[in-house]
Structure 1
Amino acid sequence: MQGRELRGELDAFLAETEQGLRAFRRDLHRHPELAFAEYRTTRLIAERLTAAGLHPSVLPRGTGLTCEVGSGDGPTIALRADIDALPLQDEKEVAYRSTVPGACHACGHDVHTAILLGTTLFLAQQADAGLLPGRVRLIFQPAEELPGGALEVMAHGGISGVDRIFGLHCDPRVDVGHVGLKTGPITSACDKLAIRVSGPGGHTARPHLTADLVFALAKILTELPAALSRRIDPRSSLSLVWGRVEAGSAANAIPDGGLAEGTVRCLDENAWHAAPDLIKGLLESVAGAYGVEATMEYSRGVPPVVNDEVSVQMFAEAAARALGDGSVVPTQQSLGGEDFAWYLESIPGAFARLGTRSPETDVTYDIHQGTFDVDERCIGVGVRLMAHTALTALWEGKRVSEVSEEHPLAELF
């Protein structure tokens, strides 16, 4: 379908549905559910899809679902939205303020969900009209904030047979109507590290007769990050930052135990895979020099989201068609984590940042704060973007497939 015709189709669709999608988002905002407890959210999504004649498949835990639109032998692409909320108190004074104490959609997942619901319904209309050159799998994913929901989707075949995947996230630093794109790493790996140090303890008057545990712990705190900066390519942006340190209870007693906890963040996948063994070796070296025993508990979080160049170009072309020239803006790398990364370890795809800031005000909300809110015009913008992206990826995938069938060796030249 030509871009002009598709824009007209979307104009007509959103004229009928956009207010309903905003109301759906507000309902989710009033009733947030935490990771792997999104039963009501899942039920509401499934009811909307079923009413449209679709056949959603709820994941085995009962939270999150997938739904396929289209048929035939063309390519299959996936679109993903996360549906869980954060364990934060909603601090906004709005009619749709959270009614659940200690839970809030402070990261925009209610917006993501409403956008994907609208995109699904529009693509279903296109499929009924015979205008979908392949299949689109819609993933309403639970537990992104845990994280782990992406692994749950994958474990139950959520991306089986998918050629390419796309997702987006609210960005309160970007004006509504704009999309932030970046090729390569766009978010960071994020792991947790806990180090326990032990020794015999003793009197501070005689540190030479024991192991000076606090001094050794201080050396670990300073030398591990310093050594990592010389053992890992600085372009990987590997960062070890401590957030908690505990040792001792008296000024004149050398303690027999201590604890340090922090996070390891990294923009390079190879460096992320190498980090645990490297940190363990450095830890043993530093601890051994001061006669203390050190153990490490390394908890994997998520890998970095690394955007595929071809997929980013598809996003950019779709944004230009859907939103006009100048709608794509550059975006910076973030050291925040995002479990969309798990999908991209298996299949190519891209993750975009959707502008949610209202240009008419001077207020800029930030995610993961109880005051976070969006300019709801971003919902219609998101539907336009994701619908155009899905069709761009399908038509391009179909074209490549046809060229390969006609000229099997074409890709070699």
Structure 2
Amino acid sequence: MTTDARDLAYATSQIVADLEPELIDVRRDLHAHPEPSWQELRTCDVVAARLEKAGIAVQGLPRSGLVAEVGDPDAGPVVALRADLDALPLVDETTDPWRSTVDGVAHACGHDVHTASLLGAGLALAEHHRASPLPGRVRLLFQPAEEVMPGGALDLIAAGVLEDVTSIFALHCDPSIDAGTIGLREGPITAATDSVTVRLRGKGGHTSRPHLTQDLTFALAKLVTDVPGALSRRLDPRAGASLVWGRIGAGSAANVIPAYGEVAGTLRVLDIRAWAQAQQIVDEVVRAVVAPYGVSAEVEHVRGVPPVVNEPWAAGHLAAAAGQMVGVGSLVGTEQSLGGEDFAWYLESVPGAMARLGTRTPGGPTFDLHQGNLRVDDASVPVGSKLLAQVALQALVS
């Protein structure tokens, strides 16, 4: 790193340090007021107000979400930074003063951290630009609806947010590693993810006469247990396919065989080639498993997102930024997960990378994402801001 680059990194650190108390307050405010997918209106208002106060022009999107840009309008290249805004339909089980005030909605995936981190990065970049014009533009994407398939990223792409963009970067909270560390890998870092719902219908009846019915409950049980196993024999086992059911329902009385039942879950696949085959195979296997019981099956298979594949050049910039902004030893290796992320859709068009932002308090308990008891260390917010700001600056001059 040159002396100028060191000076730039130092300046970024100082700017974010000054912003840190405010950014933590923003994160806690967003956490206390979570909004589900496509309804992130208050969240957008909070972010837009702060960006506009700093002189950054903001554009709202038709349904939800914001786009803002730092730098001279005609300058190039353009680097994009993305954060997601939405919360999950879960109960916040924490006891923090900033716990969710919205019944049944919680930031249990850390999107409040992502949003506050990107806000801080944008404010820091604007300060840099006032001191000395950026050699290009940084586009800030505050994206709605990451938690629903196939994801709000597609709406932003359709709105033209990737026009002139040469690279794109993002962070995702990782509560399995400490605040102050960054998880990174080249190549695939997440999995392809689909939603699968199966609805069974048949002739119900009394449990004393199952032979006169189409025993839908029994068929549903066989479907739940047999279909995931059968997939392991129809798809290449190296593809890492995993079908896990999260919801099941049938019947209302112990002595009644119901005429309708439903099961829903997610299919996750590490290999994109196997993902292309998965929908047809799931449909075939479901119908084969329930056929002996005479019930009819309706399979609703919603294609979700492809894997996030980190481009080596972009991952290298994130690694360098982590070393400069967080410190030597802050970077840790990470494995490809079976989680899905609609950031993958941006990478279909432009190169980029996603890093994992450590949120665990050092020495504290390890939580899991998508759980109501998730707690994050607020120290992760300025770390995310510094990393995003610095990787954008690096990408502009590379």
| Aligned twin of 1:173 | 176
Deviations 1:132-185 (A, max 9, x none): 222211001122223532222122112222222111012121111110012222
Show the 5 A alignment for 1:21-170: 21-61=23-63, 63-71=64-72, 72-147=74-149, 148-170=151-173
Larger deviation: 51-60 or 341-350? 341-350
More deviation in 100-109 or 44-53? 100-109
Go from structure 1 to structure 2 and tell me whether the alpha carbon gap of 1:251 and 1:181 turns closer, same or farther (over 3 Å shift): same
Mapped partners of 2:248, 2:346: distance in 1: 35
Aligned to 2:267: 264
8 Å Cα contact 1:187/1:335 also seen in 2: yes
1:293 aligned residue: 296
Residue in 2 aligned with 1:386? Answer: 388
Q: Quick one: distance in 1 between partners of 2:376 and 2:207?
A: 56
Q: Could you say which residue in structure 2 is the equivalent of 1:280?
A: 283
Which stretch of the first structure deviates more once superposed, 145-154 or 48-57?
A: 145-154
SS of match in other structure, 2:244:
strand
Q: Distance in 2 between the 1:111 and 1:228 partners?
A: 37
> How many angstroms does 1:389 deviate by?
0.8
> Quick one: distance in 2 between partners of 1:233 and 1:342?
24
Equivalent residue letter for 1:163: T
Equivalent residue for 1:318? 321
Distance 1:117 1:81 in 2: 9
Asked which structure has the greater CA Rg, the reply is 1
Q: Distance in 2 between matches of 1:91 and 1:203?
A: 41
Q: 1:199 to 1:172 in 2, by over 3 A?
A: closer
Distance 1:64 1:256, change over 3 A: closer
Q: Secondary structure at the match of 1:355?
A: strand
1:50-82: CA deviation from partner (whole Å, max 9, x where unpaired): 121111101112x31001122345322210111
How far apart in 2 are the matches of 1:211 and 1:30?
48
Q: Which residue of 2 aligns with 1:399?
A: none
Give secondary structure in 1 for the equivalent of 2:16.
helix
2-structure distance, mates of 1:249, 1:40: 40
* Offset at residue 375 of structure 1 (A): 2.0
Confirm whether residue 234 of structure 1 aligns to residue 237 of structure 2: yes
Measured in 2, the distance between the counterparts of 1:24 and 1:213 equals: 50
- Cα distance, 1:243–1:355 mapped onto 2, change above 3 Å: closer
Provide structure 2 residue ranges, at least 5 long, that are not aligned to the other structure.
none
Q: Does 225-234 or 376-385 show the bigger shift?
A: 225-234
Unaligned runs of 5+ in 1: 397-413
- The Cα of 1:115 is off from its aligned counterpart by 1.1
Between the aligned residues of both structures, percent identity stands at: 54
Tell me which residue corresponds to 1:409. Answer: none
1:337 aligned onto 2:343: no
Match of 1:408 in 2: none
- C-alpha spacing 1:244/1:81, structure 2 compared with 1 (3 Å): closer
- Partner of 2:336: helix, strand, or coil? coil
Moved more, 248-257 or 344-353: 248-257
SS in 2 for 1:33: coil
| Aligned CA distance change for structure 1 residues 223 and 39 (closer, same or farther; 3 Å) | closer
Cα pair 1:220 1:283 within 8 Å, conserved: yes
Give the alignment's Cα RMSD to 1 decimal: 2.8
**Distance change >3 Å, CA 196–CA 94, structure 1 → 2:** closer
Task: Kindly provide the amino acid, as one letter, of the partner of residue 96 in structure 2.
Answer: V
The alpha-carbon distance between structure 1 residues 375 and 217, as it changes in their structure 2 partners (threshold 3 A), is closer
CA contact (8 A) 1:306 1:350 kept: yes
Structure 1 distance, partners of 2:17, 2:224, is 58
TM-score in terms of structure 2 length = 0.88
Partner of 1:402: none
- Tell me how far apart the structure 1 counterparts of residues 213 and 20 of structure 2 sit (CA, whole Å): 70
Q: How much has 1:212 moved relative to structure 2?
A: 6.2
Secondary structure of residue in 2 paired with 1:128: helix
Give the TM-score taking structure 1 as reference length.
0.85
Q: How many equivalent pairs are there?
A: 394
- Which of 10, 15, 18 in structure 2 is aligned with 1:16? 18
Q: Which amino acid aligns with 1:57?
A: Q
**2:67 aligned partner, one-letter code:** T
Tell me which moved more, 251-260 or 279-288. Answer: 251-260
Separation in 2 of the partners of 1:21 and 1:257?
50
SS state at 1:163 partner: strand
| Aligned-partner Cα distance in 1 for 2:93–2:201 | 43
Contact kept? 2:88, 2:106, Cα under 8 Å: yes
